[in-house]
Amino acid sequence: MQSEKIERIKYLVETLNRASKAYYAEDREIMSNREYDALYDELELLEQETGLVMADSPTVNIGYEAVEELPKERHESPMLSLGKTKSREELRDWLQGNPAIMSWKLDGLTIVLTYNDGKLAKAVTRGNGEIGEVITNNARTFKNLPLTISFSDELVLRGEAVISYPDFEKINGEIEDAEAKYKNPRNLCSGSVRQLNNEITAKRNVQFYAFSLVSAEGMDFHNSRQEQFDFLAEQGFQVVEHYKVTEENILETIDLFEKKIESYEIPSDGLVLTYEDIAYGQSLGRTAKFPRHSIAFKWADEVRETTLQEIEWSASRTGLINPVAIFEPVELEGTTVSRASVHNISILRALKLGIGDHITVYKANMIIPQIAENLTCSNTLEIPKVCPVCGGQTEIRQLNDVQTLYCVNEECPAKQIKAFTLFVSRDAMNIDGLSEATLEKLVDKGFIQEYADLFHLEQYREQIAEMEGFGEKSCQNLLDSIDKARETTLPRLVYALGIANIGVANAKMLCRYFDNDLTKMREADAETLSAVDGVGEVIATAFVEYMRDPRNVKKLENLLPELHIDIPRIDEGNQTLKDMSFVVTGSLNRFASRNDLKDLIEQRGGKVTGSVTNKTTGLINNDINSSSSKNKKAKELGVPILSEDEFLERYNIHV
């Protein structure tokens, strides 16, 4: 009965969310308000009866929160890796006549969850096996994770956070810049789970699959792994697909998994085999590296022989030039493959490559094409002495034991893309419609060579409208966004110039110090700039060097006539926070975001920094009793910890 209610809850959550998306995002109705309300009421009742509330249930509202850093925490017991084999027979022999549970080895990020009083209390990443990062706020946004469960005592379990292939492809498809695309679902998942702002995590559709119960206070599972899996499923967790195996059926079960992986939407790089008898598995102990109760089975890589046709040298916006092997196409894991990254000069030389060499290739984790071996080893390949983009000189740089190739030409168009990308970004000139991929096309066509050229793209309207991904409407939207960007502020402009070490906050401080007078700023020497609070010698020197460089002067002089810089009128009587410094952390109630509170403080003459020091006037944190590092530091230094309301009341600010 409980399992039926849980399945009904999951069905109602999915149905109601689909109806909400249709109504609010797609402007269509798939059910009446009355039907929706009835299903919603049923869901609320079932949640009360079972104690199960899913993270994506429409009855709960996940509060998004950005944190300054992810706290570290030591695991109660080390999270060891598993011993591995690629031999099916070896896997069967490992059983030694004992039954075991076989499941997917999912390729994501391992998470440890703790529930207390039926509520999710803590989520910690595996980290290095000894110490992980606390990502509780992010875990609350996992698509299929229960926030509350019926079991009220302490429950600790492990599982894998993953992003499905369809979600991975959808997210990557929205990224135009080829270099910015994620390499595989695991990388995307790892970055998503460890975000400082859990609103980003929520948008990534992270899923959680439980694969191991660590402890459940007061429960007796009759020495059975299968009973543990059943218990987790009864609590509403999505458990990893698993089957009970013996020496008699293990090979056919492996075949079953192998057939499924061709269409399985969740990334997996193998299987896991764990003794069904819990006590027996634990009695075997562990080696220095692996527990003996489990073993991992890795799929044997499908390897194909082919011929190396060329090495393509791919220049990036950082100046790094990566070698990419181009070879005669081969079929690997169901797809045609003709290229593979060689990563760096060290790997290239270790492979002793030459054009025409016979090589073997495979897909690492059945996903990423790699060169396995060079059968010829002609070692005739020459490292290019000039950049493939600009023809400038290259140099080989070595960091630790790794050699990489770089273009040393500062004017290389590949590098300029980075400068243009910063210039059009949200905190700078805020020009929509100019992704890195689009900027590369405009640079390649010669439409833009310096910042001012961006404001003359109207003359290329017809050519832009015919570019891939564009049309008349998107071209017009871009031109409108560029016109809108002409109205800007001095801090935005200073940040947009990309001067070394000058971020958004430093740009604002400089502009405030010089009363938003660009001429004064450009004429200031390093000593004057160093006196600005929060600037210092390094930033001051970088600013002066930038403003003294004739090339930069020319670009800035060409740019300024295109802009209208709005100079804010400062009400001296309103500068009630002048010379005060604040740190803001935790979630906010009175302000939509930290930036809103930051703007308010800056408008009143104060400044907001990222860390608590003896110069900090106050730490604004609604959770004044939290054990965060910032709270601890504030207490050590005697810095007042203020809630939003206390801050507003103390400084007589009305919002």
- DSSP annotation of 458: G
Q: How far apart are CA 460 and CA 447, in angstroms?
A: 8
d(CA 507, CA 490): 8
> What span, in angstroms and rounded, lies between the C-alpha atoms of 17 and 264?
24
Active site residue 105: yes
pLDDT computed for residue 24 by the predictor: 47
What pLDDT does 61 receive? 59
What is the C-alpha to C-alpha distance for residues 150 and 297, in angstroms, rounded to an integer?
A: 35
Contact indicator for 339, 369 with CB cutoff of 8 Å? yes
Q: CA 529, CA 535: separation in Å to the nearest integer?
A: 7
What gap in Å lies between CA 517 and CA 523, rounded to an integer? 10
Rounded distance, CA 91 to CA 108, Å? 23
pLDDT of residue 27: 44
Which of 5, 84, 86, 105 is flagged as catalytic? Answer: 105
* Cα 484 to Cα 411, 429, 458, 574, distances in angstroms: 29, 9, 14, 29
Q: What pLDDT does 98 receive?
A: 95
> Quick one: pLDDT at residue 377?
93
Question: Which of 87, 94, 103, 99 has its CA nearest to residue 249?
Answer: 99
Max CA-CA distance within the chain?
85
Task: Give 530-533 contacts, CB < 8 A, sequence gap 24+.
Answer: 533/509, 533/607
CA distance 465 to 47: 53
SS3 track for 320-386: EEEEEEEEEEEEECCEEEEEEECCCHHHHHHHCCCCCCEEEEEEECCCEEEEEEECCCCCCCCCCCE
Q: What is the spatial distance between Cα 312 and Cα 347, in angstroms, rounded to a whole number?
A: 15
> What's the rounded Cα separation, in Å, for the pair 134 and 5?
32
Task: Report the distance separating Cα 539 and Cα 508, nearest Å.
Answer: 13
Q: With contact defined as beta carbons under 8 Å apart, do 126 and 267 qualify?
A: no
Q: Rounded to a whole number, what is the distance in angstroms from the first to the last CA of the chain?
A: 52
Contact 57, 236 (CB under 8 A): no
Give the chain's residues under pLDDT 70. Answer: 1, 21-29, 31-34, 37, 61-69, 176-180, 288-289, 316-318, 333-334, 364-367, 400, 533-534, 569-573
Looking at residue 488, the DSSP 8-state letter turns out to be E
Given this model, what pLDDT does residue 29 score?
61
